[in-house]
Chain A
Amino acid sequence: EAGVAQSPRYKIIEKRQSVAFWCNPISGHATLYWYQQILGQGPKLLIQFQNNGVVDDSQLPKDRFSAERLKGVDSTLKIQPAKLEDSAVYLCASSLVWGQGSYEQYFGPGTRLTVT
């Protein structure tokens, strides 16, 4: 079974530029999560999708971050414009079912973003 795929793996941009990250979850996984992980910290949830609907985006800085999952499969996270403090690893995770007792989340390798 293929895992969660993410691209690119690394990205360096200047502040005020825009950037987009792509995620393809495990086949059949209805729930998709985007996390931000700053070095030395645990992952922080940015947004949670169930199929193509948003379950929770309360911690997404909506003035600069946006995310979509149009067909309920792959997803894109965008930052526009980027700030220095956005330097982090952006992780995508997926889980089989939400709300029916299946909690296991499987993570992709992440995209390391450096904003200069």
Chain B
Amino acid sequence: QQQVKQSPQSLIVQKGGIPIINCAYENTAFDYFPWYQQFPGKGPALLIAIRPDVSEKKEGRFTISFNKSAKQFSLHIMDSQPGDSATYFCAASSPDSNYQLIWGAGTKLIIKP
């Protein structure tokens, strides 16, 4: 019940396309859902995060869509660029687990020029 399932494992998209990465969870106590971006040789960097009281959050070209009833959330990258090529992790957190992040397995995204 503490798992966060992320798909796909890898994704190749042409420049300008809209990659979509999906995550699903079971624990209804989760109340914070961040996405992290990680480049090779770097630590994960917080990209965008959402709480379950909203269905969508947008920051620049990155959008999180949240479906509370389905217990799913997804990351969309608009007008994707080769510089967006990285590994993306979704995560979830709840007060009853010391606010620790439960991580998805990651999606390796490649944006082709």
Contact = CB atoms under 8 A, between A and B. Distances in A.
Interface of A: 4, 40-45, 48, 55-56, 91, 93, 98-99, 103-110, 112
B54 interface: no
B14 interface: no
Contacts, number: 52
Interface string B62-106: 000000000000000000000000000101010100111101111
Contacts of A40: 106
A12 to B, nearest CB: 16
Given A103-B32, A103-B34, A104-B34, A45 B100 contact: yes
Given A42-B89, A103-B32, A104-B49, A48 B43 contact: no
Given A40-B106, A103-B34, A45 B101 contact: yes
B46 A104 contact: yes
B42 interface: yes
B104 A42 contact: yes
B34 to A, nearest CB: 7
Contacts of B43: 4, 91, 93, 107-110
